[in-house]
Amino acid sequence: MNSLNISIKNMALNSKQKILIVEDEEDIREIYKTKLVKEGYKVVTADSGTGGIISAGKEKPDLILLDIVLPMKEGFSVLADLKKNPETRGIPVIIISNLDQDYEIKMAHDLGADGYLTKSNVTPDEVAENIKNILGKK
């Protein structure tokens, strides 16, 4: 199978899957958005914690990629709010942050995160692979 067929196959598999990226840094947000769109996902974005909560409720994404350091409401509070809300509690959340202390990773998992990635340690390809793996378990 050539790469065009693989891309078309990925698009068909992911065509109904929507990813919400909650990231305040525009460059980073666009890198992940570009990669995920190329993988066939529909992507919506928010640039603040409050915007992420609003978008999650409105868009009902299949997965949320969530930064921790955000304006208006930090990521841990966003995650806690999402998991308390019956409409959004079942949406898988992957934290992606430059914060990588053990207690931060533990807090994210305790609040219900499905994954934790350190921005400086992962490529966009690896982020896409993590999303694919988590959505495959859903």
**What domains are there in the chain, each with its CATH number?**
16-137 (3.40.50.2300)
Report the percentage of the chain scoring pLDDT > 90: 85
Q: Is the pTM of this model over 0.75?
A: yes
Structure confidence at residue 63 as a pLDDT band (50, 70, 90): very high
Instruction: Please return the burial class of 1, using the count of CB atoms within 10 Å of its CB with bins 0-12, 13-18 and 19+.
Output: exposed
Is-contact 25 45, C-beta < 8 A? no
**What digits encode the pLDDT tens for the residues 69-106?**
999 999 999 999 999 999 999 999 999 999 989 999 99
- pLDDT at residue 14 is higher than 50: no
pLDDT of residue 138: 58
- pLDDT at residue 40 is higher than 90: yes
Structure confidence at residue 15 as a pLDDT band (50, 70, 90): low
Average pLDDT, the chain: 90
Is-contact 97 122, C-beta < 8 A? no
- pLDDT at residue 48 is higher than 70: yes
Q: Helices 26-38 and 124-137, interaxial angle, to 10°?
A: 60
- pLDDT at residue 1 is higher than 80: no
- pLDDT at residue 10 is higher than 50: no
